[in-house]
């Protein structure tokens, strides 16, 4: 596994390297030139702005902000999954944006520690915005040294979506709550030519569902230990892996799940080619109305001896947050105006109403136009919560774990090999 010092050195060496090196990915940030040091231009780097859920609302918010602050220009840079890599490259050149909008995961876990972004705790208090943040969100964005890595913004509920119409067509009378019921339902669905559980077994959606299933037999502390250390040798972890393998080899997951992605998963569910998916809020918001009308949300079915009392879901408050860069501290007045605007109740309410986003901030607004998102918000104590491992997995192990996920979803792979693949992801990173 790469040492954190390697990343620290990589970023710390930035100014010297920048002059002599052609930096990979810098072309994606080609706008980071010239006027970027203009004190009247705020540069924001975001994953919103194209097809990501909430993008239209975000772009409209930027327009309103510009109108309210005519003397302050806002340059909006957009990247998708490669945002973290592009940001680190721009940081090397000391041309990084002032504000970065991205989740707490993988590379970003190390940013505050290596000085790529700054602790925002003081700003959160000085600007009087702490009370706007849900306590759970503040806890998840605070690191072991008490530093708040970013201003929390998006959250998500991550339940299991069940297409009741397809279940009814297959003769499945009730939403499965046990592994045996799920296997029986899957057989009936397959008999009707319907894929049971669709999942991106080749990407992060598969990794999250695998982690959720393994936790069937793990307490929260045990799960935190497993995903922090890469030790899946405990009795509970081994039982969880065996439960996953039993479900997989019984045909619970869609054919060739090891090659599917989050996009193919969404397509299969939304076109009714598959009856069940593990769907975070952003995916629930995309379910077409004609499918949403006969879809219910709930938890993942349990096995005998599970440590949870009710079927499980995932929840997290570590989706998009507002990170402040070292360059941003040089324009902190502009950053304050922007953050105050984005935290305003009316701005937050529009993300909920127009885009169906779950927020890490306090709000009384409900996603009335996104019934599945609202239904997931109402699940409350009717389900148990498994641990989302994102903030515990060492950054260098995140991508190897996704590779291990594809191996795990390949039919016939034994529980021992699944465990070995997971543990190797930590050792080889």
pLDDT tens-place string over residues 340-370:
999 999 999 999 999 999 999 999 998 888 9
What is the CB neighbour count within 10 angstroms for residue 235? 10
Q: So what's the pLDDT on residue 21?
A: 33
Q: In a 3-state reduction of DSSP, which class is residue 324?
A: strand
Rounded CA separation 391/386 (Å): 14
Report which of 319, 317, 338, 318 is spatially closest to residue 99, judged by C-alpha positions: 338
Per-residue model confidence as pLDDT tens digits over 243-291: 999 999 999 999 999 999 999 999 999 999 999 999 998 899 889 999 9
Residue-level pLDDT at 132 = 97
**Per-residue pLDDT at 232:** 97
What pLDDT is recorded for position 390? 87
pTM of the model: 0.81
* Sheet strands side by side (includes 160-163): 195-198, 274-278, 160-163, 295-298
| Stretches in the chain below the pLDDT threshold 70 | 1-37, 428-429
- Which residues, in sequence order, are CB contacts of 405 under 8 Å at separation 6+? 201, 202, 203, 206, 207, 210
Predicted local confidence at residue 429, as pLDDT: 59
């Amino acid at each position: 596994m790469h040492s954190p010092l390697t990343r620290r050195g990589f970023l710390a060496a930035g100014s010297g390297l920048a002059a002599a090196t052609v930096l990979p990915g810098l072309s994606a940030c080609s706008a980071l030139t010239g006027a970027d040091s203009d004190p009247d231009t705020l540069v924001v780097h975001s994953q919103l702005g194209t097809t990501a859920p909430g993008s239209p609302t975000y772009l409209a918010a930027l327009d309103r902000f510009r109108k309210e602050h005519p003397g302050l220009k806002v340059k909006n840079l957009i990247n998708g999954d490669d945002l973290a890599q592009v940001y680190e490259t721009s940081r090397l050149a000391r041309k990084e944006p002032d504000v970065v909008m991205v989740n707490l995961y993988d590379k970003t876990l190390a940013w505050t520690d290596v000085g790529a972004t700054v602790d925002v705790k003081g700003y959160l208090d000085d600007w009087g915005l702490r009370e706007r943040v849900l306590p759970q969100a503040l806890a998840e964005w605070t690191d072991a040294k008490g530093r708040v890595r970013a201003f929390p913004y998006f959250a998500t509920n991550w339940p299991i979506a069940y297409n009741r119409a397809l279940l009814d067509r297959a003769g499945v009378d009730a939403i499965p709550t046990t592994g045996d019921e799920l296997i029986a339902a899957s057989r009936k669905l397959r008999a009707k030519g319907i894929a049971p559980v669709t999942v991106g077994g080749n990407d992060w959606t598969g990794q999250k569902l695998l982690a959720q299933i393994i936790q069937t037999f793990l307490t929260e502390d045990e799960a935190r230990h497993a995903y922090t250390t890469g030790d899946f040798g405990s009795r509970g972890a081994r039982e969880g892996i065996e439960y996953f393998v039993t479900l997989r080899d019984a045909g619970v997951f869609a054919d060739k799940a090891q090659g599917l992605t989050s996009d193919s998963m969404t397509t299969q569910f939304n076109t009714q080619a598959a009856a069940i998916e593990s769907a975070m809020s952003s995916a629930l918001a995309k379910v077409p109305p004609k499918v949403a009308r006969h879809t219910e949300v709930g938890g993942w079915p349990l096995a005998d001896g599970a440590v949870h009392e009710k079927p499980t879901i995932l929840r997290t408050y570590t989706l998009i947050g507002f990170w402040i860069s070292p360059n941003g501290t040089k324009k902190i007045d502009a950053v304050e105006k922007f953050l105050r605007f984005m935290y305003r109740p009316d701005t937050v309410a529009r993300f909920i109403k127009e885009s169906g986003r779950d927020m890490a901030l306090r709000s009384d607004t409900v996603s009335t136009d996104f019934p599945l998102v609202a239904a997931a918000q109402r699940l409350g104590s009717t389900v148990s919560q498994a641990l989302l491992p994102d903030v515990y997995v060492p950054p260098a192990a995140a991508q190897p774990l996704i590779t291990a996920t594809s191996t795990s979803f390949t039919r016939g792979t034994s529980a021992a090999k699944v465990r070995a693949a997971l543990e190797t992801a930590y050792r080889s990173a």
